[in-house]
């Protein structure tokens, strides 16, 4: 039951995660808490944090994280008050570049790896810690970029249907990756630093390997086939 879940005491310190909404959710995931967080629980936990979160959590009706006995894979879902449409909560180059839209419910499978080394270039590698991978298997979510931003920045920023989200620590700081495909099937992604509370734009060179790596993990290794969103005639990723 929602009332049995931990309260704000499980939130990570503000020195680690600046946004209080994310500090609570990351705290729950990092502690492997299972159950349902309904809108009343969220409001109770976050009511003292208004002004310390950019996330419109009042649009969320429930977040569910199921832990089946004998399995390390978690089943996670987030439910909204109808189809979601809300401005991108964080800016790029001083401007909020578009909106986030999603189906009423979005379901994920979650995998965890305490550490992961990923090679890139000829002899380079990057090491991540506390890696939580969330692959979309039902529902859809899209970052819809304003048309003029799309024209100005071209391939650097484009509409993206999300197929995977990843939570991880890099150089001691919590980061989040959202990755998917553009309308024509080209790879798209963005990375957020939860300590500085900023989108990393452009994506640092050593982190650019993460999006194709984790897209391939959920699409080709785990064979998840997220439904196509209705906004465009979307092509499958390549």
CA triple 97-189-102, angle to 5 deg: 65
Give 222 or 154, the one with higher predicted confidence: 222
Structure tokens at 205: 């060179």
The domain of 38 spans 2-221
Query: Which pLDDT does position 97 carry in this prediction?
Result: 56
Determine, yes or no, domain membership for 236.
Answer: no
Determine, yes or no, domain membership for 13.
Answer: yes
Hey, what long-range contacts does 212-218 have (CB within 8 A, 24 or more apart)? Answer: 212/187, 213/118, 214/133, 214/164, 214/166, 214/177, 214/179, 215/163, 215/164, 215/179, 215/180, 215/181, 215/187, 215/189, 217/133, 217/135, 217/164, 218/133, 218/135, 218/136, 218/163, 218/164
pLDDT band with cut points at 50, 70 and 90 for residue 8? confident
User: For 174-231, how does the pLDDT look when each residue is reduced to its tens digit (9 = 90+)?
Assistant: 999 999 998 888 898 989 999 999 989 889 999 999 999 999 999 999 999 888 888 6
What total number of domains does the chain contain? 1
Query: Which pLDDT does position 154 carry in this prediction?
Result: 45
Specify the pTM.
0.89
Determine, yes or no, domain membership for 176.
Answer: yes
Determine, yes or no, domain membership for 234.
Answer: no
Q: How far apart are CA 96 and CA 145, in angstroms?
A: 9
Determine, yes or no, domain membership for 235.
Answer: no
Query: Which pLDDT does position 227 carry in this prediction?
Result: 86
Query: Which pLDDT does position 41 carry in this prediction?
Result: 87
Determine, yes or no, domain membership for 237.
Answer: no
Spatial neighbors of 9 by CB under 8 A, at least 6 apart, are none
Whether residue 152 is predicted with pLDDT greater than 80 in this model: the reply is no
Determine, yes or no, domain membership for 166.
Answer: yes
Determine, yes or no, domain membership for 155.
Answer: yes
> Mean pLDDT, to the nearest integer, of 50-58?
74
User: For 84-123, how does the pLDDT look when each residue is reduced to its tens digit (9 = 90+)?
Assistant: 988 776 654 444 457 888 999 999 999 999 999 999 988 8
User: For 9-50, how does the pLDDT look when each residue is reduced to its tens digit (9 = 90+)?
Assistant: 999 999 999 998 899 999 999 999 999 999 998 888 887 766
């Amino acid at each position: 039951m929602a009332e049995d879940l931990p309260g704000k005491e499980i939130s990570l310190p503000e020195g680690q995660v600046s946004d209080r909404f994310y500090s609570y959710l990351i705290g729950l995931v990092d502690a492997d808490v299972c159950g349902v967080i309904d809108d009343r629980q969220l409001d109770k936990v976050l009511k003292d944090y208004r002004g310390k979160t950019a996330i419109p959590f009042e649009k969320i009706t429930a977040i569910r994280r199921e832990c089946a006995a004998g399995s390390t894979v978690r089943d996670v879902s987030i439910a909204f008050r109808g189809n979601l449409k809300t401005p991108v909560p964080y800016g790029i180059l001083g401007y909020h570049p578009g909106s986030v839209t999603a189906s009423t419910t979005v379901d994920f499978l979650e995998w965890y790896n305490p550490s992961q080394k990923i090679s890139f270039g000829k002899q380079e590698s990057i090491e991540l810690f506390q890696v939580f991978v969330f692959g979309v298997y039902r529902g859809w979510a899209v970052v819809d970029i304003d048309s003029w931003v799309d024209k100005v920045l071209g391939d650097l920023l484009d509409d993206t249907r999300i197929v995977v989200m990843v939570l991880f620590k890099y150089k001691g700081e919590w980061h989040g990756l959202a990755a998917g495909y553009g309308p024509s099937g080209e790879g798209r992604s963005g990375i957020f630093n939860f300590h500085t509370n900023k989108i990393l734009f452009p994506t640092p060179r050593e982190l650019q390997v993460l999006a194709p790596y984790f897209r391939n993990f959920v699409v080709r290794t785990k064979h998840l086939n997220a439904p196509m969103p209705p906004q465009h005639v979307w092509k499958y990723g390549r």
